[in-house]
Structure 1
Amino acid sequence: MPASSTILGQHFAYAHGRMGVLKLLLLEQSDVDRLLGAKDLRETEKILTELKLTNVIDQGLSEGHAILEAVGTWMRNEVQKMSPLVSRPIFGILWLENDAPLLAYLLKKSHGLSSEISQEPLSGMNMYDPEVLRALILNEPSAGLHPAVPKSLESFVKKILAKEELSAQEIDSAVTKFVVQMQKRLSKTSGSRSIERYLEHRIDLFNIRTALRLSTKETKEVIPFLIEGGTIDPARLAGTEEEIASAIGRSKLSIFLPKDLESLLNDPIEFEQSAAHIVASDIAKMWNVPLTIDPLFAFAAITLGQLKLIRTILIAKNNELSPQETKHVLPPFLTASSFAS
């Protein structure tokens, strides 16, 4: 066996043991129930400080979003340490999911499209340091933090900044397409069919949501907002709800979904539950592939999902939504114990 393969195997073996410890920090359903049941934002933040997930950060933090940013940074660093150097860029597939809303926010701000009450999305699990992105887009001073952004990102930002009369939706679409292209390039270097499939299904689900939102528009108006790279041809999704259901029914995604697709697509909550099942299935396939990047990628994906879920609860509590109303807008809840052997 080549020495490089032996070293990689040792690294992944260490990661497997370390993940066994870190999984104990992640949320369980009872934690989510406590957060949902809190009477207000202040109580939610107090509960957040009591969770195992926050034991690893500065105990002086009490504001919810600051806590999540600190946890995200800590977890990202742990994933980086557990991953072989050659494999670290692959996690950009996940980190870019947090860069995308920040990129879109900053570009919309530069075009005067952000409202006075809108806030910059914060996350500790980014591909690029937010300070560097602010310097690139808003010309704010930068401390020269690394890693520097790639030329492709610089070119994309310059192109968007140079365009006039862009709508917020057009900026969101352009950012999503650019980020997905970066993710696709990274997935091809992963050597993991499971990671590639995970990204393909994420693209499918994005396209389905977008197509449903635009289902009353003409096909030519919908196509520009859909993305290549999923398992379903975007052109087949650019149509009425019946045509969207037909396209999904002929795809491999249909095995995860109820037979009555039209009813499913008319119920956003049921659709998101089915979407969560697809994501969970993809992650489950990664979890028990020893001595590869797959389990570590699954762990990072679950962690990222849990932090997004907590952030949604904090926003809902700040807007005084009831637990029942909050459940309707929550992203999928995934827990590592669901997939562990």
Structure 2
Amino acid sequence: MRARASVGLARAPTRRSRATRCFSRASAPERGISASPARVERFHRAHGSSTHRILVVGEGDFSFALALARCAPRGWEITATSLHSLEATETSWEGGANVEALRAMDGARVAHGVDATRLSTTFERGAFDRVCFNFPHAAGKGKIHANRALLGGYIREALLVAPRGTIEVALAPGQGGTAADGARAREYGNSWQAYARGAENGALLIECAPFDDAGWRALGYESRGHWRSARAERGFQTAGGVAHVFCAEDRARELGATCAYATPFTRDVSVWTDDADSDDAERVVVDAFDVARDGADVSADVRRVDAWRDPESGRVSVTIRARVRSTTVPLTRERVRAFVDRARDVLRARGRLRDAATGDARWAGHSPKP
């Protein structure tokens, strides 16, 4: 079986053992803190007692913000906000006592009527070092497009008020649409597509971590929200959730942060070759993508998927499938399309492109395409 060719590597990658891969991932620096109280403590030990400004949005009864304030070190500033009014917090969400407790704590403040998708209308640019949103959900059941819009709008606005900080959002099991969901992963088309929501706003998904539901509940956190109403008989499913951490692309580059959960694109390109059984087709496509990459940290693994002989000319057209991915660049359909179009221009200039057969960009391994 012919091995896949790869663009973006000086040599073919060696296969690492599972233990080595796990060690590399585990040794990566932690970026997020909302996943667990233990991460708050580790972050404090690593960065000392300097002031850290945290914005918590989308609170219901303010129990998460209070739990965070209880474990936060002295000197941290926590601004806890909700979309609804104080009256709704006290009556519908039964969070009046939590609000009072927060207001009595040094370094904590509370604000109401704050829309997570319009943060820049309330707060100044760069006002925070970190923004957290736990288990967001648009009103009503089954409105996945509304939830994707909510997630994207939050990331966009959070980047404005914390442009050099981290943007965190905890999602229920399976919602994120990445491998971090594990056994609870849904079909990609039925997820919120967290990586894509970050990428379309210029943010890279730099970390995913299990949400420590038990750890936060031990500090008083209670999941009260539900898609039916605030006072429903059960809250969102938070056990088994995943905390997703984003930051701006340029900031990720400064930090040396990478994305272990990048969603790959695939694109089909058909090229002319003299022999359908030779490696010529793969070689010319690899070379074209390497030229198109122009130093960018984007890889394209290519493999042959089909071949066709023109009955009139006798020429052979081989279809090559390129799997485009990056661990440092937040890829969107537009960025991938531009990358592939540059490669096609190279092939066209060399007389190797079969113009009549080029597939559409689509997400690898998922159907339907976004």
- Would you call these one fold, judging by a TM-score over 0.5? no
> Going by fraction, where is helix more abundant, 1 or 2?
1
Greater Cα radius of gyration, structure 1 or 2: 2
Task: Give the structure, 1 or 2, with the largest relative contact order (CA under 8 Å, sep 6 or more).
Answer: 1
Name the TM-score, length of structure 2 as normaliser. 0.27
